Structure 1
C-alpha cells in the first residue's frame, strides 16, 4: 500500500515543490544586482532618448549665437536644421557602434567588467556636453551625443546578457524585465527633469545634458559590490569556486539546481569556443533562433510605436490641451510605459513569454485599425480626438506588455553561452539599423500615406503575431539547453518549415 501511495502521489509532490520554487521571491542581493547593472545600463539608453527633447530650442539658439560670434552672421535655417539633426542622429550612430563591440567586450572583460568600463563613455559625454556652452564649441555636443550612443549601445546589449545569466531559471523573465523597466524609467526621468520647473530653463540646458554622469557614478559605486555572471565564470573562465561564490551571493544557500544547470551546459559545450557573429549565420542548428531575434528586433522599431509618439503632440492639441501643458501630459505616456513594464515583469513568469508578446502584437494590430479610423474621422465629432488619445495609451500599453519587454529576454533565452554574445551583437545591430531606417523614412511615410500609415504597421504587427504563434516555443521555466533542444526537435522544425511561413513572414515584414 505504501509503495502504491508513493507511486501515485510522488509525481504530484514533485510538481508542487517545483511550483513553490517558481513563485518564490528573488534574493535581495539578486534584486540589488539587477538595479546596479541597470542604472548605468538601459536606464542611460532611455534617459538619453528623452532628455534631448526639452532643450531643443535652447541648443539651437546657442548654435546660432556661436555661429554669429564666429562668422559675424546668422546661421541659415537649413544649416541649423542639419546641425541639430546631426546632434540627434549621432546617438543612433554611436548606438550602432556600441552594440557591435558590446558582445566582444563581454567575452574579453566579462559582463560586469564591460558594464563598469562602459561608464567611461558616459562620463566623457557628460564632460563634453557640459563644456560646450562655456567654451562656445557646439561641435562638442555632436561628439558628446556620439559617446552617449556608444554607452547606450553597449548597455542595451550587455545588461540583458548579465541579467539573463545571473537570474535563476524560475525568475529569469522577471529579472530580465529589469531591462525594459529601466528603459521606461529612464525615459520618464528625462521627461520630468526636462520640465521648466527643474532643468528645462534656457540657462540650465548644459547642466541638463551633462546629468548623464549621475547614473554612471552610481553604477561605479554600487556594481563592484556584486559578482560577475556565474555562467561566465564557470563556462568561459573555468572558475568553479568563483561561480559557486557568485551563486551563493545572488541566490542564497539553495543554489544547487542552478549549479547543476550551469555545469550541464558547460559539459555540453566542451570543445566549443565563443562564436563570432558571422559564424552564427552558417550554423544550421540555430538558424530559427537567429531568424526569430532578427525579426523581433526589426519589428520592435517598425511596429508603429515611433509613429504613435510622432502623433501624440498633434492629438493633444486636437483634444484642446494648451501647448504649455502638453509636456506634463506627455509625462503621462512615459508613466504609462513604466507601469506596463512593471506589470509585464509581474506577469511574465506566470503567463509566459509567448502569451505576452503574441498578445501584445495582436492588441497593437487592433489599435492600428482603430487609430486609422479615429484619425480619418477626426473632425466628425468633438469626441473623436479623445478616442484617438485612448488609442494612443492602449497602443503604448500593448507595446509595453509584450514587445517592449519580452524581446530582449527572448534574445537571452534562445541561445547558449557560446552563441549568446554574438546573438546580442546581431540583434542590437538590427534594432539600431531599424531605428535609423524608421527615423529617416517615417516622415516620408506620413507625408505619403498620412493617417493610413498605420495600415503598414497593422500588416507588420499581424504578421509578427502569426510568426510568434506558429514558430516560437514557450521558454518559461526552461533551461537554455531545454530551449535549444525544443527549437531543434523534429516536431518544431516541421512546424517552422511548413509552407515556408517563417521566411515569408520575415521577408514581408522587413
Structure 2
C-alpha cells in the first residue's frame, strides 16, 4: 500500500518538508533541496527492500519461517508509528526512516511469505497459494488508490495516517500467524522433526492421508545426506543450479523491466490527451489498479491448469506486441481525435496481460525451482535483483523518457520478447511436479552434454550463512 500511495501524498510531504525547514532555519527550503529530500524518501523504500531481501536468506534459516514473519510484522508496526508521529515531532527524518523500514518489511515479507506457502502447500495448489502474494499486492494498490483520494485520507491532516496504514495488515498477520504452525518442510528437512511436520500438515491441510507428501519430503532429506554446505556465492557458481538461477533472474526477478512502471507513468498523460479532467484522474487510476487485481485473480485460477511456462511466456510475448502497437499509436496520436481512446484501451490491455502472466507467475515460479535448502539463497538473489531493478527504474526512467519519449517502450519491448523466448524455448513446465522431479528436468539443461541423473549432479542442498 505504501508503494502505490506515493503519488497521493507527494505534495503533502513536500509541503511538510518546507514547513519543517522554515521552522528550523527560518528560511524556506529551495526547490532543488526539497526535490532531493523527496527523491530520498521515494528511493529509500527500494533500499530497505533490498536489505530485507538479503536478510530473508538468513533469518528464516536460523529462526524458522514463522518467527521471521512475526519479527517482520513488528518492523512494519515501528514504521507505522514513525509515520504517525512525524508530523507531531516536525521531523521528515522520521519519514525517511519509516520508509526504509517499510521497504525492509516488504523485501523480507515477500520472500519469507513465499517460502512459507511453497513449503506448506500441496503441489496441486502450490501455484495458486504462492500467487496470493501478487493478489494482495494488487489489492494493496487498489486500496491505496481508494483511501488516497482527497475525499477519504488525501488531505493535509490525514496524510500521516495514510502513510501509517501499512501497519494495519501487519497487526492482522501478526495476530493470526500466532495460531499457525511452522512450515512443514522446514520442520521435516531442516530440523528433522518428523512428528511436528506431520502435525503441521494435518493442521494446514485438514487431511490424515499424508503418505505421498511425507515420502516426497523424505526423498529431499535423503538427498541431503553427506553433502557439504553451500553459501549464496556457491549457488551462483554451481553448475547444478545454473539454469534455475537463470530462470529465477531473467523472467522473474527482472520483471521490473517489462515496462509496467512506464505504463503507469504514461497513463496520466494519455488520460489528459483524451480530455479527462484532472480531478477525475485518480478515479481512472483506481480503474487501472482494479484491472490488475482482477487479472491477477484470474491468473490464480489458471496457473495450475495452464501452467507457469505458458502464462509467463505468452504473457511477455503479448505485452511486447501490445507495447509495440502503443509506440506506433503514440507517434501518430494527432491524426485522429479518437486515437487517444485507443491508447487508453492499449494501456488497460497491457496491464491485464501483465496480471494474467508475468506479475503472478514471477511470484509463484521461484518456489518451484529449488529444493529446500537452496530456497532461502534463491530468494536473496531474486529479491536483490528485483529491488535493485526497481531502484534503477526509479532513478533513470525519467531520463530515458526525456531522451526517447514514447520510444522508451521499445527498451521494455526488447526485454519482453527476450524473456518470452527464454521461457518458451528453455524452461521446463513445473505444474503438478514434486521438487525432485523438477530438479531432474533442469538437470537435462544443467548437464546437457553429459549422461547424468539427480544423484550424479553434485546437489548441495544445505545453505549456511
TM-score band w.r.t. shorter chain: over 0.9
Q: TM-score, normalised by structure 2?
A: 0.94
1:453 match: secondary structure:
helix
Matched, 1:308 2:263: yes
Among 438, 442, 450, the alignment partner of 1:487 is: 442
| 2: CA distance, partners of 1:134 / 1:204 | 12
TM superposition shift of 1:274 = 5.9
Contact map agreement 1:365 1:457 (CA 8 A) in 2: yes
Name the counterpart of 2:112.
158
| 2: CA distance, partners of 1:369 / 1:284 | 37
Name the counterpart of 2:52.
98
Matched, 1:126 2:80: yes
Among 192, 197, 209, the alignment partner of 2:163 is: 209
Among 275, 281, 285, the alignment partner of 1:320 is: 275
TM superposition shift of 1:465 = 0.5
TM superposition shift of 1:225 = 0.9
TM superposition shift of 1:282 = 2.1
Matched, 1:335 2:335: no
Name the counterpart of 1:428.
383
Name the counterpart of 1:345.
300
Name the counterpart of 2:138.
184
Among 419, 431, 437, the alignment partner of 1:476 is: 431
| 2: CA distance, partners of 1:327 / 1:236 | 48
Name the counterpart of 1:146.
100
| 2: CA distance, partners of 1:84 / 1:272 | 49
TM superposition shift of 1:256 = 2.1
The CA RMSD over aligned residues, in Å, is 1.4
1:402 match: secondary structure:
helix
Contact map agreement 1:487 1:493 (CA 8 A) in 2: no
Matched, 1:402 2:370: no
Q: TM-score, normalised by structure 1?
A: 0.86
TM superposition shift of 1:51 = 2.2
1:350 match: secondary structure:
helix
Contact map agreement 1:274 1:419 (CA 8 A) in 2: no
Among 221, 224, 234, the alignment partner of 2:188 is: 234
Name the counterpart of 1:356.
311
Higher relative contact order, chain-length normalized (CA < 8 Å, sep 6+) = 2
TM superposition shift of 1:207 = 1.1
TM-aligned CA distance change 1:381 to 1:492, over 3 Å: farther
TM-aligned CA distance change 1:275 to 1:490, over 3 Å: closer
Contact map agreement 1:169 1:478 (CA 8 A) in 2: yes
1:162-311 equivalences under 5 Å are 162-251=116-205, 252-272=207-227, 275-311=230-266
Name the counterpart of 1:52.
6
Contact map agreement 2:256 2:390 (CA 8 A) in 1: yes
TM superposition shift of 1:490 = 6.3
| 2: CA distance, partners of 1:428 / 1:494 | 32
| 1: CA distance, partners of 2:253 / 2:445 | 27
- Deviation readout 1:459-478 (Å, 9 max, x if unpaired): 11111101111110000100
- Deviation readout 1:166-205 (Å, 9 max, x if unpaired): 1101111111111111111111111111111211111111
2:287 match: secondary structure:
helix
Contact map agreement 1:303 1:457 (CA 8 A) in 2: yes
TM-aligned CA distance change 1:275 to 1:491, over 3 Å: closer
1:200 match: secondary structure:
coil
| 1: CA distance, partners of 2:406 / 2:322 | 13
| 2: CA distance, partners of 1:202 / 1:65 | 13
| 2: CA distance, partners of 1:493 / 1:350 | 29
TM superposition shift of 1:489 = 2.2
Matched, 1:460 2:405: no
Unaligned runs of 5+ in 1: 1-46, 496-510
1:297 match: secondary structure:
helix
Contact map agreement 1:299 1:460 (CA 8 A) in 2: no
Once the two structures are overlaid, the 10-residue window that deviates more, 375-384 or 291-300, is 291-300
How many residue pairs match? The answer is 449
| 2: CA distance, partners of 1:430 / 1:299 | 7
TM superposition shift of 1:493 = 2.9
| 1: CA distance, partners of 2:139 / 2:414 | 30
- Deviation readout 1:118-152 (Å, 9 max, x if unpaired): 01210111111111101111111001101101101
Name the counterpart of 1:29.
none
| 2: CA distance, partners of 1:174 / 1:274 | 32
1:73 match: secondary structure:
coil
| 2: CA distance, partners of 1:492 / 1:342 | 37
TM superposition shift of 1:261 = 1.0
Name the counterpart of 1:110.
64
| 2: CA distance, partners of 1:454 / 1:137 | 39
1:488 match: secondary structure:
helix
Contact map agreement 1:299 1:461 (CA 8 A) in 2: no
Contact map agreement 2:251 2:423 (CA 8 A) in 1: no
Name the counterpart of 2:463.
none
TM superposition shift of 1:299 = 3.2
Name the counterpart of 2:35.
81
TM-aligned CA distance change 1:204 to 1:470, over 3 Å: same
